[in-house]
Amino acid sequence: MTTMGRLRTRTLIAGMVALATVGLAPAASAATGIDTRWSEPGPYAVTVEALDSAHTVYRPSRLERHPVILWGNGTGANPKIYDGLLRHLASHGFVVAAADTPNAGSGQEMLAGATTLIAENSRPGSRYEGKIDTAHIGATGHSQGGGGAIVAGADPRVTTTIPIEPGPQGSATALKGPSFFLGGQFDTIVIPALLVVPRYRLADQIPAIYGELGGATHFTPGGDGGGFRGAITAWFRFWLSGDERARAEFFGPSCGLCGDGAWSDVRRNAKALAVPGA
């Protein structure tokens, strides 16, 4: 080979290496999963007490001004079954009103918690006076309570919803704010493909995301929420608390949820894809 030929060959190889490097660059910046900060305890000490005769409240011990989360239990369950998860949410700055009922599917028991807190926010002398962010109220629950959360999400006071392995109650087409539908890969009671994904698909009037947790059964959300805990916290921190650190977990081309191997299926509808990333 001539000197000129060798020079051309070296130039070609250098160019190919450069192109390969450029092609690999996006992968280097891709999300590796949901930040562990959301599954770790938050900065607030937590107090658990009766809100009224029908609700247990999990709240920051030192009240400032906090968004609200309405909680609905699964059939036959009570807030103690989900105590770790509800304490965790309170530690991240939420006032959680948990309905004390094993039948939260009507959504009305959950919404009654919002009514009480909104009234307490305005009542002189209440420990909640001026401490409730009434413009930011979320609804979530498990199983029948997940169905109840969908019902509650049709109420204009509720600004975002997370149905966890939800029962059949409520209409996804009536949801008013962004929703995060959660399924369990091995849930044989609320089968994701039959009972969760179709409801996510119906919610095309709002930004909606479907997340299926790998290996999760119908009972995974009990206790401290298991692998669902971090994603639930991040969603509410973004939509209720305006925490911009949580935006990238769900939105943009390299969302943390999308790149997290713990989730066996993640889908985002057109309106969710249109939400700007970080």
pLDDT in tens, 223-253: 999 999 999 999 999 999 999 999 999 999 9
What is the pLDDT of the chain when averaged over all its residues? 91
The CATH number linked to 201 is 3.40.50.1820
- Residue 277's contacts (CB-CB under 8 Å, 6 or more residues apart) are 247, 248, 251, 252, 253, 254, 255
Which contiguous run of DSSP H or E holds residue 111? helix 108-122
Does residue 22 sit within a domain? no
Q: Is the model's pLDDT at 16 over the cut of 60?
A: no
Report the pLDDT averaged over residues 51-79.
Answer: 98
For 178-259, where are the E strands, in sequence order? 179-184, 208-213
Q: Is the model's pLDDT at 137 over the cut of 90?
A: yes
Does residue 24 sit within a domain? no
- Residue 113's contacts (CB-CB under 8 Å, 6 or more residues apart) are 51, 54, 55, 68, 70, 71, 97, 98, 99
Q: Is the model's pLDDT at 258 over the cut of 50?
A: yes
Coil, helix or strand at residue 49: strand
- β-pairing, 208-213 vs 179-184, is parallel
Does residue 28 sit within a domain? no
Q: Is the model's pLDDT at 8 over the cut of 50?
A: no
- Count how many residues are written for the chain: 278
pLDDT of residue 278: 81
- Residue 50's contacts (CB-CB under 8 Å, 6 or more residues apart) are 56, 57
Does residue 26 sit within a domain? no
Does residue 156 sit within a domain? yes
pLDDT of residue 177: 98
- The domain tally of the chain equals 1
Expressed as residue numbers, the domain containing 227 is 36-274
- pLDDT one-digit tens code per residue, 173-207: 999 999 999 999 999 999 999 999 999 999 999 99
pLDDT of residue 7: 34
Does residue 168 sit within a domain? yes
- Report whether 169 contacts 150 (CB < 8 A): yes
Which of the four pLDDT bands, split at 50, 70 and 90, describes residue 117?
very high
Does residue 138 sit within a domain? yes
pLDDT above 90 as % of the chain:
88
- Residue 254's contacts (CB-CB under 8 Å, 6 or more residues apart) are 29, 30, 31, 248, 277
Does residue 4 sit within a domain? no
